[in-house]
Amino acid sequence: MIKILITMGDPAGVGPEIIAKTLSRYIPSSTRIFLVGAVSPFVKLADRFYWAKKFLERLDRGEIDFVSAAEELEYPVGIVNDVCGKASFMSLLKATELIKNGHGEALVTAPVSKKAITLCGEKFSGHTEMLAQSFDSKVTMLLFDQRIRVGLVSTHVPLSEVASYIDEERILGHIIRINHGLVSFFGVKEPIIGVLGLNPHAGEAGEFGKEEETIKKALDAASNIGIKVFGPLVPDTAFLAVQRRRFDAYLAMYHDQGLIPLKTLGFYYGVNLTLGLPFVRTSPDHGTAMDIAGKGIANPLSFINALRYAAFFAEKLIEKEEL
């Protein structure tokens, strides 16, 4: 039985809604689900929505386990605030503790507000970064849907700092993790990875920047250890359909360079996977969506996929460990 932990996310956002919509109708086979957080946001939804009532009924019947990690309060909805930030952060801390103590093979995180967590006094730039630090792991953020997979060299950093992340060793590490993930999780026997340049026209032979020289060194190092990589690719044409058919995954240099095309192509189905951790961690590809929170209109498809793939990848990881 695969144990999957789910953090409730920020109770001011759509996290509780997409969790309740998902778990009211879908639990992956051969799994045990542990919801980490507070019940009160779901009770509030159940006053108005049938799917939330069905979720609470499954919780009451013991079909879903609950782990208390935050206060049972009347949380405000639709506004960034420190109370909800603390609740989401405490849920993540508790889930991290459980994973470290061997009480879970996979973690699915609902969206949080980085600003809300900062308001409650915690330094936080994202799930990926926090988990990397907590488990002393070098990680890669890889987002994917049925048509495209994109990893990132830099994640939640200002554009003004992106160039400082263009480092041969760092890029090579991301390429290695993506290659390993494609083989281990996606079953790609001989992955082909397209690596984007940073600058317009991939630097135009140095006319628009020198960072591509560093990227090229990382590609040569990857090729020397048997990984099939191509680049630096010109960013503005890298995601054309004809290009997407060439590659099993991309490595983009910064957040929006990679995620604008991915979310344009598959926003409702995208999944965020953290490569490099000693367990499986996934999440939906969207944020807290506080503008629609509490209205019952949030689309749960990305979260459903995150849960489905968490179970699938965890099974793959267990099979590998048993070999």
pLDDT at 267: 86
pLDDT band at 320 (very low <50, low <70, confident <90, very high): confident
pLDDT digits (tens, 9 = 90+) for 175-225: 999 999 999 999 999 999 999 999 988 766 766 788 999 999 999 999 999
Beta carbons within 8 Å of 264's beta carbon, 6+ residues apart: none
**What average pLDDT score do residues 92-104 get?**
97
List CB contacts of 323: < 8 A, sequence separation 6 or more.
none
pLDDT at 25 over 90: yes
Grouping H, G, I as helix, E, B as strand and the rest as coil, residue 238 is coil
| Domains within the chain, CATH numbers bracketed | 1-137+277-323 (3.40.718.10), 139-275 (3.40.718.10)
Percent of the residues in the chain that have a pLDDT greater than 70, as a whole number = 98
Q: What is the largest CA-CA distance in the chain?
A: 65
- Mean pLDDT for the stretch of residues 124-149: 95
pTM, to two decimals: 0.95
User: DSSP character for 234?
Assistant: P
Q: What is the mean pLDDT of the chain?
A: 95
- Whether the pLDDT of residue 133 is over 90: the answer is yes
Quick one: pLDDT band at residue 323, thresholds 50, 70, 90?
A: low
Mean pLDDT along residues 253-281:
95
The CA distance from 199 to 28, in Å, is 43
Instruction: For residue 225, report the phi and psi dihedrals to the nearest 5 degrees.
Output: -105, 15
